[in-house]
Chain A
Amino acid sequence: MKKLLFTLLLAALFLAGCDRQERAGLVFSVGGAPAELAAWQDLVDEFRQVSGIEVELLRQPAETGQQRQGLILALKAELPTPDVFLMDVGWIGLFAASGWLEPLGDFDRSPFFEEVVERVDVHEGELIALPVYMDGGLLYYRRDLLALAGRDAPPETWKELLEDAVSLLPAMRAENPNFYGFVWQGAQYEGLITSFLEFAGSEGGFVLRDGRILLDVPANRAALRLMRDLIRNRVSPPSVYTEMREEEVRLFFQRGDALFARNWPYAWRLHQQPDSPIARRIGIAAPPGPTAEERVSTLGGWHIGVSRFSQRKEEAMEFVRFVTSREAQRRMVLALGWNPGRRDLYDDPRVLEEMPNLAELKEVFEKARARPAIPYYPQVSEIAQRHLNAALAGRVTPEMALQQAEEEIAALMARYGM
């Protein structure tokens, strides 16, 4: 009996002891994009020195879908933490419409990319988020190999990309049987949508017309056919549609196993590390398009927002101000090779010295294409991912895939009364 009581007591103690530990300060949730965490830690340390406010970094999985799910759980439960978090541009609409974001109040929006802020960060007239860094899809290419083929400029259309790859592949494969022409994000996840939008160009993508989202349009059909054929003709490896997410693409390209890769700007620094076999042999460019005029880069990037359920909103606002300040942004740019959310850094001499390609990127971002800012975008994306991936796997024809996705999205919108 005593033993039992003892056990019970122990159990009770355990439970009491595990009760929510009071966090010492702000809790800031960030995704695990490469090398990000150490730089954030430095920034947070500096913030503590400046303001006296402690910030705990809460590390999240890098994959956007999993990160979103974790935040949705915390916010739907109205947990007081995390107080501040980074959001993928794709889910700000959902978070805002669910009433989870605290309005940021008066902020000078002029130093930021105003079109992006207007489109993504404003909900019912209130500013609810700010860009911390910008992303746009880029084409990475092997300068050394293209030169070998007598090409001095990267391809501007998908057709040119294909020609370059086809002309180089036989020679490369003779040396390295694992060599491929082009690797890109094709697994069934959000990244597939971002590469699809670039394949489709400015005439395709999610076409909004008469309150419907159209997918089965000529540009999309051509794009999906091209994507499937790249895999079918072994210009892209078959693992594109099963394994390829950002990091798998980066590792594949970094091993020296591909001529072209589609990735976000973060990969640049990592590719250029001294121990990387492709260091100093690569270049970046805006992604090709169906024609040179139809080229688009998918707008990505992470925006910072404050939870409506935070109990430290004042401190959280101060942190937001700090993170989006010119100084802090410059530090992050220099430390990580990021593309700042502030437009005024793209002309900053010190930054340009470190990152000469930033001027070019500014143009890419200004023209970058946003995904629809609708609250049910995650569901729309899930549907599109599933059907696009099925077409890549050869389970259905591209036409069927687009048609079915379009119908399912229409049914979804009808269900939500949209």
Chain B
Amino acid sequence: MSTESNNSAADRLPPRERREALAFLLPVALFLGGLVLVPVLGTLLDSLHRDVTFLPRSFIGLENYRALSADPAFWASVRFTLVFVLVSVPLQVVLGLLIALVLNEGFAGRALLRACVLIPWAVPAAVSGRVFELIYNYSYGAANWLIQLVHPGAGPVNWLGTELGALAAVVVADTYKTTPFAALLLLAGLSAIPEDLYGQARIDRATFLQRFFRITLPLLKPVLVVTLIFRTIDALRVFDVIFVLTGGGPGGATSALSIYGFRYYAAGDFGYASAVSVILFFISLTLVVGYASLGGFGREAR
């Protein structure tokens, strides 16, 4: 980001302009304040209440949080959510980096590849989730067909039937949808690296891997961190893919926090669901602050 003018300009701004600036910012403030901040604060407030459709609403302090901390299903959801982030985000970033590296090369069919990569990103996750649901179908899905094609005689696999299988299935479906996004961010970072740096390396007879680790990776670090942040935030609140694909099963094995909270909303228990949402938010916040300090942000990247 370029701060292209001197900061003292603000001080010299005539009051009329100042008012104008505020007027221009007002709509954004209204939208974000009214439709994001107020709801978040409201949810915080709700989480301190017993708010169930069939009981009178009452303030109960931290009771919902205490109940959550004693709820094994909640902890299982926390664990699953974190495992999901830890597995899917690195996978997506690495795959995305590979795709970005390929896209950054000049070769025939580059535009075609870019278009193909964009398609999974543009398709709603609920839709691709249903396609994967069919792919994993036990009796006639494509995954079992493929298994039997490669290895005739192998029995069909119940893909969504084990904890590990369901996790893998969800990760694959989510990776399908989100890798393109990571790839594009990284591609932008790659294309910003000056070509002559590589020219010099070539003269020095550096191998491809040397060039990658000595030039590309260090220069890509800020973008890499941004990508990680974006992907982590998104993976933490994963909902659509799981809702469609496993509904949280088998036996609650893939019940991400969003799903877990949503189930209580859907059953009419708004207080408890709000407490889950608040905790999810604080997990996001912690991770992002962690990343940001890791990436040395705050000192205005680039």
Give yes or no for direct A-B contact (beta carbon below 8 Å): yes
Q: Is B272 in contact with A242, judged by CB distance below 8 angstroms?
A: no
Within B104-143, the residues touching A (CB, 8 Å) are 137-139
B240 within 8 Å of A (CB atoms):
no
User: Known: A238-B158, A393-B162, A393-B253. Is A382-B267 also a contact (CB below 8 A)?
Assistant: yes
B70 nearest CB across to chain A (Å): 6
B36 within 8 Å of A (CB atoms):
no
Q: Contacting chain B: which of A3-11, A299-307, A357-365, A408-416?
A: A408-416
Q: Is A389 in contact with B252, judged by CB distance below 8 angstroms?
A: yes
Q: Is B161 in contact with A391, judged by CB distance below 8 angstroms?
A: no
A358 nearest CB across to chain B (Å): 33
Residue among B73, B266, B269 making CB contact with A386, cutoff 8 Å = B73
A415 nearest CB across to chain B (Å): 5
Chain A: which residue is nearest B267 at the CB level?
Answer: A378
A187 within 8 Å of B (CB atoms):
yes
A147 within 8 Å of B (CB atoms):
no
With a cutoff of 8 Å between Cβ atoms, the chain A residues found around residue B162 in the complex are: 393-394
Q: Is B55 in contact with A416, judged by CB distance below 8 angstroms?
A: yes
Question: How far apart are the CA atoms of A375 and B268 in the complex, in Å?
Answer: 10
B54 within 8 Å of A (CB atoms):
yes
Task: Count B-side interface residues using an 8 Å CB cutoff.
Answer: 36
Q: Is B251 in contact with A72, judged by CB distance below 8 angstroms?
A: no
Q: Name which of B63, B71, B160, B250 has the most chain A CB atoms within 10 A of its CB.
A: B250
Q: Is A390 in contact with B272, judged by CB distance below 8 angstroms?
A: no
User: Known: A178-B139, A408-B71, A408-B72. Is A393-B53 also a contact (CB below 8 A)?
Assistant: no
Q: Name which of B53, B73, B246 has the most chain A CB atoms within 10 A of its CB.
A: B53
Residue among A98, A395, A404, A415 making CB contact with B253, cutoff 8 Å = A395
Question: How far apart are the CA atoms of A102 and B255 in the complex, in Å?
Answer: 36
With a cutoff of 8 Å between Cβ atoms, the chain B residues found around residue A401 in the complex are: 251
Q: Is A404 in contact with B269, judged by CB distance below 8 angstroms?
A: no
User: Known: A97-B54, A408-B73. Is A238-B161 also a contact (CB below 8 A)?
Assistant: yes
Q: Is B263 in contact with A389, judged by CB distance below 8 angstroms?
A: no
B242 nearest CB across to chain A (Å): 12
Q: Is B249 in contact with A187, judged by CB distance below 8 angstroms?
A: yes
Within A220-259, the residues touching B (CB, 8 Å) are 237-239, 241-243, 252
Q: Is B138 in contact with A94, judged by CB distance below 8 angstroms?
A: no
Question: How far apart are the CA atoms of A378 and B163 in the complex, in Å?
Answer: 24
B96 within 8 Å of A (CB atoms):
no
B7 nearest CB across to chain A (Å): 32
Question: How far apart are the CA atoms of A189 and B252 in the complex, in Å?
Answer: 11
Question: How far apart are the CA atoms of A374 and B276 in the complex, in Å?
Answer: 24
User: Known: A237-B138, A404-B72, A411-B70. Is A390-B52 also a contact (CB below 8 A)?
Assistant: no
Within B234-268, the residues touching A (CB, 8 Å) are 246-253, 255, 263-264, 266-268
With a cutoff of 8 Å between Cβ atoms, the chain A residues found around residue B41 in the complex are: none
Q: Is A239 in contact with B138, judged by CB distance below 8 angstroms?
A: yes
Residue among B53, B54, B72, B251 making CB contact with A389, cutoff 8 Å = B251
B67 within 8 Å of A (CB atoms):
yes
Question: How far apart are the CA atoms of A68 and B268 in the complex, in Å?
Answer: 10
Q: Is A376 in contact with B54, judged by CB distance below 8 angstroms?
A: yes
Q: Is B53 in contact with A188, judged by CB distance below 8 angstroms?
A: no
A172 nearest CB across to chain B (Å): 16
Chain B 144-168, CB within 8 Å of chain A: the 1/0 string? 0000000000000010111100000
Residue among B53, B139, B163 making CB contact with A239, cutoff 8 Å = B139
A373 nearest CB across to chain B (Å): 12
With a cutoff of 8 Å between Cβ atoms, the chain B residues found around residue A252 in the complex are: 139
Q: Name which of A94, A386, A408 has the most chain B CB atoms within 10 A of its CB.
A: A386
User: Known: A238-B158, A390-B252. Is A188-B138 also a contact (CB below 8 A)?
Assistant: no
Q: Is A387 in contact with B52, judged by CB distance below 8 angstroms?
A: no
With a cutoff of 8 Å between Cβ atoms, the chain A residues found around residue B138 in the complex are: 237-239, 242-243
Question: How far apart are the CA atoms of A303 and B63 in the complex, in Å?
Answer: 36
Q: Is B263 in contact with A382, judged by CB distance below 8 angstroms?
A: yes
Within A394-409, the residues touching B (CB, 8 Å) are 394-396, 401, 404, 408
B180 nearest CB across to chain A (Å): 29
B43 nearest CB across to chain A (Å): 16
User: Known: A237-B138, A241-B161, A408-B73. Is A188-B248 also a contact (CB below 8 A)?
Assistant: yes
With a cutoff of 8 Å between Cβ atoms, the chain A residues found around residue B50 in the complex are: 415-416
With a cutoff of 8 Å between Cβ atoms, the chain B residues found around residue A237 in the complex are: 138-139
With a cutoff of 8 Å between Cβ atoms, the chain A residues found around residue B63 in the complex are: 415
Question: How far apart are the CA atoms of A415 and B66 in the complex, in Å?
Answer: 10
Q: What are 6 inter-chain pairs, A to B, with CB distance below 8 A?
A: A239-B158, A242-B250, A243-B138, A378-B267, A390-B251, A393-B250
Q: 8 tightest CB-CB pairs across the interface, nearest first? A: A390-B251, A239-B138, A188-B249, A97-B54, A393-B250, A238-B158, A386-B252, A375-B54
Binding site for B on A (CB under 8 A): 65, 68-69, 72, 76, 94, 97-98, 178, 187-189, 237-239, 241-243, 252, 375-376, 378-379, 382-383, 386-396, 401, 404, 408, 411, 415-417
